[in-house]
Amino acid sequence: MADLHLMDAFHVSGVSVRYKDKTAISDVSFEATSGEIIGFIGADGAGKSSLMQAIAGVVRFSGEISYLGQSYHSPKEAEKIKIHTGFMPQGIGLVLYDTLTVDEHLRFFADLRDLKKDAEFLAYKKQLLHMSGLSEFVDRQAMNLSGGMMQKLSLICALLHRPKLLILDEPTTGVDPLSRLELWEILRNIAKEEGTIILVSTAYMQEASKMDRVLLFHNSKVIASGTSAELIDSIRPFVYEKSLLYKDENSLNFDETSYSLTPLQSALKEPTLEGLFFVNALKENKNIAEFVINKKENDEVIPEVVMECHGVSKQFGSFIANKEIDMKLKKGEILGLLGANGAGKTTFIKMLLGLYSIDEGELTLLGKPIKSGKDRQELKSKIGYVSQHFALYKDMSVKENLLYFASMHRIDKKAALSRIALYAKELGFEEYLGSFANELPLGVNQRFSIAAALLHEPLVLFLDEPTSGVDTLARAQFWQILGKLKEIWGISILITTHYMSEAQFCDRVVLLKNGQKVADDTVINLYKRFPQAQSFEDIFLEFYKEKG
């Protein structure tokens, strides 16, 4: 039996992946045994996907991976274990074909794997369909499935051949919380019943507790590993209640917490997994700048109600993207628009901005009723917008981009240059001014995009998923900036996000579900309404369960 156990063991030793002159992940070693769920947690670009691809045998790597008594060092050598592995790449519905039905997908993937369609297979298929809750939808085409259903279908397609090693790259990102729970349920079952080793990456810290072991990724390295509880314990001595008295390079404050390598006066506080990234940054002696925002140059009167809409609806063909949404954005307020992918967040923001037409409903922006595009002309100089994926010109440097946008706002060159220099200093991207937009780390890109949206000193900011894929530290810094903008500039901010944990930074949150508004309240009130909720994630889940 002991031998068999050894045979089953999965080893990764000293694996690195390099692309040209860039190291994607360096020197990772870990092992796993049958039935274990190993989680990869970290930001975009931290190296999770590269390591998964190396293990799946789809990219070249250095080091050794061994499994089932066979070791491999290259994609070619990995061929022999591919019959035992299942791989699901990142991106919702990426492996699916729009016009094939659920059942056709299962048959297609079975044929690809050359599976015999005997009674045992049919029974297993039925079990998978049941487990994923797709039994009733076997005849539905993939393009008509929700994001959560697509991910469940992709997952069971990867499970058809009963892999012994399952590699899942961010299967839950952007998926609604209920589907996420269901996905985890399937994974736990598979690990238990089939003894499969499951490697799964995620952008959500909260999912760490569902994993047997967690590897934390940061800047192409694994910075910590262990169970979620072990990891939290490891930073326990460094986490305190917020302390403003004492500050040096060994400490930093974020939100209601202080992190410090040297002992502080204030009381110790229960740490979170996010804290690991802060403590790691302190240990690496990285300079985490506090951002300073100066007063605006031009003072303009901001109306009490910045945006108000009633019964706003949008339909694309037969798909209802937004249904009768009422919303109000007040002066000096950060309003969080939360929801899963496909809940209608981006569509709603684009309607507010006039990038999409409003099918039905009324909209008032900065006190002006919007009837057509003409009404927006004079408002353009008062609105700032950061789009999903930080839209910037890739073939121009940061400085050239900013100067170009400034010139579009008719800011004269001298004023623009001084403002750019100021923002670059305040938001900490001075050293990147000469770099091209596509060479920047995502976190820097994010700050520079917001600088571009602030150049003309707008009265209101619309931000579409500005924190998606950005690492914990950069996200924390970003929220700090938003908080200061609100405080010092007094502007209103409407921001969308699929990270439920970010609700705590908003004055008020609106939850969207399938294009409809299901909640609109302050975070405190929502916690009062659901006293048993541990986190905002739980509250969101309640809303998903509530109305089917």
Partner 1 sequence: MKSLFFAIVFKELKSFMRSAALVAVVLYSFTIDIYVAGEGIDIEPRNVAVGYVDNSGGGISKKILSNLHSPEFVAPVQFLSQKELSNAIYNKEIMVGLVFDNDFEKLYREKKNTQLNVLLDATSASQGFTTLMYLQSILLSFEDIQIPLELKIHKLFNQNSDNKSFMALSELLSLITMLVVILTAIVFVKEKEDGTWDIMLLMPIDAKLTILAKTLSQVIIVMGGVILSLGFVIFGMFDTPMNGSFWSFIFLTFLYTFSSAGIGLFVAAIAKDVMQVAQFSIVIMIPLIFLSGAWTPVYTMHPFFQVLSFFSPLRYYIEGSESIFYRGTPFLDLYPYYFGVMILGFILYIIGFKKIGRLF
Q: Which residues bind partner 1 (CB under 8 A)?
A: 350-351, 353-358, 372-373, 376-377, 380-381, 383, 385, 387-389, 391-396, 404-405, 407-410, 452, 456
Q: What's the CA gap between 331 and 308, in Å, rounded?
A: 11
Instruction: Of 454, 160, 445, 183, give the one whose Cα is nearest residue 295.
Output: 454
Nearer of residues 155 and 453 to partner 1, judged by Cβ: 453
433: left (phi over 0), alpha (psi -120 to 50) or beta: alpha
Half-sphere exposure of 479 (CA within 13 A, CB side): 24
Nearer of residues 357 and 525 to partner 1, judged by Cβ: 357
Q: What's the CA gap between 142 and 188, in Å, rounded?
A: 25
Nearer of residues 465 and 537 to partner 1, judged by Cβ: 465
Nearer of residues 353 and 422 to partner 1, judged by Cβ: 353
CB of 251 to partner 1, least distance (A): 38
CB of 363 to partner 1, least distance (A): 10
CB of 144 to partner 1, least distance (A): 20
Instruction: Of 185, 198, 124, 116, give the one whose Cα is nearest residue 157.
Output: 124
**Torsion of Cα atoms, 72 then 78 then 81 then 82, to 10°:** 160
CB of 408 to partner 1, least distance (A): 4
69, 35 Cβ separation under 8 angstroms: no
CB of 407 to partner 1, least distance (A): 5
CB of 482 to partner 1, least distance (A): 19
274, 472 Cβ separation under 8 angstroms: yes
Nearer of residues 350 and 513 to partner 1, judged by Cβ: 350
CB of 386 to partner 1, least distance (A): 9
Q: What's the CA gap between 217 and 276, in Å, rounded?
A: 11
- Strand partners of residue 85: 165
CB of 463 to partner 1, least distance (A): 13
Q: What's the CA gap between 40 and 30, in Å, rounded?
A: 12
Nearer of residues 351 and 509 to partner 1, judged by Cβ: 351
Nearer of residues 85 and 346 to partner 1, judged by Cβ: 346
Structure token digits, residue 139 = 């005849």
CB of 313 to partner 1, least distance (A): 14
| Helix or strand (DSSP H, E) at 269 | none
- DSSP string of 53-112? HHHHTSS--EEEEEETTEEESSHHHHGGGGGGEEEE-SSTTTTS-TTSBHHHHHHHHHHH
- Intra-chain end-to-end CA distance of the chain, in Å: 47
Q: What's the CA gap between 216 and 274, in Å, rounded?
A: 10
Within a 10 A sphere around the Cβ of 133, how many other Cβ atoms? 15
Nearer of residues 261 and 396 to partner 1, judged by Cβ: 396
Nearer of residues 306 and 509 to partner 1, judged by Cβ: 306
Nearer of residues 396 and 421 to partner 1, judged by Cβ: 396
Structure token digits, residue 346 = 């981006």
Q: What's the CA gap between 121 and 12, in Å, rounded?
A: 32
Structure token digits, residue 311 = 């019964």
CB of 436 to partner 1, least distance (A): 9
In whole angstroms, how large is the CA radius of gyration of the chain? 25
